[in-house]
């Protein structure tokens, strides 16, 4: 329990029920109401920002429906269970903070906190085709780091293709502000304190077979190439601006 909660609890116990509605509003909203609402919702699966068939023909409706309602929903549910079992106060712990100290928790927490975060991000990173090209400070940074947008796509695609088994490919911004490409196994991500390359993920590609097998079977490279048509670069740019 942090100081704000401690103070509030003491305050409530002193004022009694009759005083709560009147007396706690300014205190509650001032101290941590907005953060609490934001953080609590981070742990729940949010509505998909488009219809299951909105990403066709590159990702088919059935893949999207199973991916969202079965795989991703299960990560969110299991994350909730793990938080109860491992006594994580989700009203007072941001998901990012949890991920940044994930080495202190169980494999179940690691898999499901990562799984939930990664999928919530993944849905936002896509939009119905056509994709627009990246612009502004992001494209400048990409050109500076990788030589050109085409070279960046090639390197990111390689990271996605060569990730053995299940995992993710990432474009991330490291703590020193530089861009990097990495890949992680399973549901790990660059926010985790156990990640080989750490930073804030800007773009992530799910290369688990559940993300593409119905349409592409074993042809992961075809899925990766098709996926570029769906990238929501405006959102990636927004993340880049906020991460710097
Ligand atoms: Mn997935």
Is 201 in contact with 191 (CB distance < 8 Å)? yes
Return the pLDDT at 41.
Answer: 85
Q: Which two tokens stand for residue 95?
A: 């998901």
CATH number at residue 156: 3.55.40.20
182-223 tens-digit pLDDT: 999 999 999 999 999 999 999 999 999 999 999 999 999 999
Distance between CA 53 and CA 64 in Å, rounded?
A: 7
Return the pLDDT at 5.
Answer: 45
Span from the CA of 232 to the centroid of ligand 1 (angstroms)? 18
Q: Is 181 among the domain residues? A: yes
Span from the CA of 147 to the centroid of ligand 1 (angstroms)? 30
Q: Is 1 among the domain residues? A: no
Span from the CA of 1 to the centroid of ligand 1 (angstroms)? 34
Q: Is the pLDDT of residue 119 over 80?
A: yes
Distance between CA 56 and CA 12 in Å, rounded?
A: 53
Span from the CA of 67 to the centroid of ligand 1 (angstroms)? 6
- How many domains is the chain partitioned into structurally? 1
Of 17-26, 96-105, 136-145, 213-222, the least confident: 17-26
Please provide residue 133's backbone torsions phi and psi, each rounded to the nearest 5 degrees.
-75, 150
pLDDT, averaged across the chain = 87
> Which residues are 172's β-sheet partners?
180, 201
Span from the CA of 184 to the centroid of ligand 1 (angstroms)? 13
Residue found under tokens 């780091």: 145
Of 86-95, 109-118, 186-195, the least confident: 86-95
Distance between CA 143 and CA 110 in Å, rounded?
A: 34
Q: Is 95 among the domain residues? A: no
Identify the DSSP state of 162: H
Q: What percent of the chain has pLDDT over 90?
A: 79
Q: How does residue 10 score in pLDDT terms, banded at 50, 70 and 90? A: very low
Span from the CA of 150 to the centroid of ligand 1 (angstroms)? 26
Q: Which two tokens stand for residue 184?
A: 């992680």
Q: Which two tokens stand for residue 173?
A: 């911004």
Q: Is 21 among the domain residues? A: no
Q: Is 49 among the domain residues? A: no
Question: Which domain does 168 fall in, by range?
Answer: 136-243
Q: Is 228 among the domain residues? A: yes
* Contacts of residue 228, Cβ cutoff 8 Å, sequence gap at least 6: 131, 153
Span from the CA of 119 to the centroid of ligand 1 (angstroms)? 6
Q: How does residue 135 score in pLDDT terms, banded at 50, 70 and 90? A: confident
22-78 tens-digit pLDDT: 333 333 333 334 444 444 589 999 999 999 999 999 999 999 999 999 999 999 999
Q: Is 115 among the domain residues? A: no
Q: Is the pLDDT of residue 224 over 70?
A: yes
Span from the CA of 104 to the centroid of ligand 1 (angstroms)? 24
Q: Is 225 among the domain residues? A: yes
Q: How does residue 18 score in pLDDT terms, banded at 50, 70 and 90? A: very low
């Amino acid at each position: 329990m942090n100081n704000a909660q401690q103070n509030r609890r003491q305050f409530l116990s002193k004022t009694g029920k009759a005083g709560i509605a009147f007396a706690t509003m300014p205190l509650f909203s001032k101290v941590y109401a907005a953060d609490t609402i934001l953080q609590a919702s981070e742990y729940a699966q949010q509505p998909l920002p488009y219809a299951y068939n909105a990403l066709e023909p590159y990702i088919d409706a059935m893949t999207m429906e199973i991916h969202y309602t079965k795989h991703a929903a299960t990560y969110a549910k299991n994350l909730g269970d793990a938080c109860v079992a491992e006594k994580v106060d989700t009203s007072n712990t941001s998901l990012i903070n949890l991920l940044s100290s994930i080495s202190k928790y169980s494999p179940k927490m690691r898999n499901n906190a990562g799984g939930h975060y990664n999928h919530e991000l993944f849905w936002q990173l896509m939009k119905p085709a056509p994709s627009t090209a990246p612009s502004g400070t992001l494209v400048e940074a990409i050109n500076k780091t990788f030589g050109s947008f085409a070279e960046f796509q090639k390197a990111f695609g390689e990271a996605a293709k060569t990730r053995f088994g299940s995992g993710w490919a990432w474009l991330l911004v490291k703590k020193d502000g530089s861009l990097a490409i990495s890949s992680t196994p399973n549901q790990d991500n660059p926010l985790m304190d156990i990640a080989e390359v750490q930073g804030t993920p800007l773009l992530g590609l799910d290369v688990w077979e559940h993300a593409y097998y119905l349409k592409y079977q074993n042809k992961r490279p075809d899925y990766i190439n098709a996926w570029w048509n769906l990238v929501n670069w405006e959102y990636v740019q927004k993340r880049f601006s906020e991460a710097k």
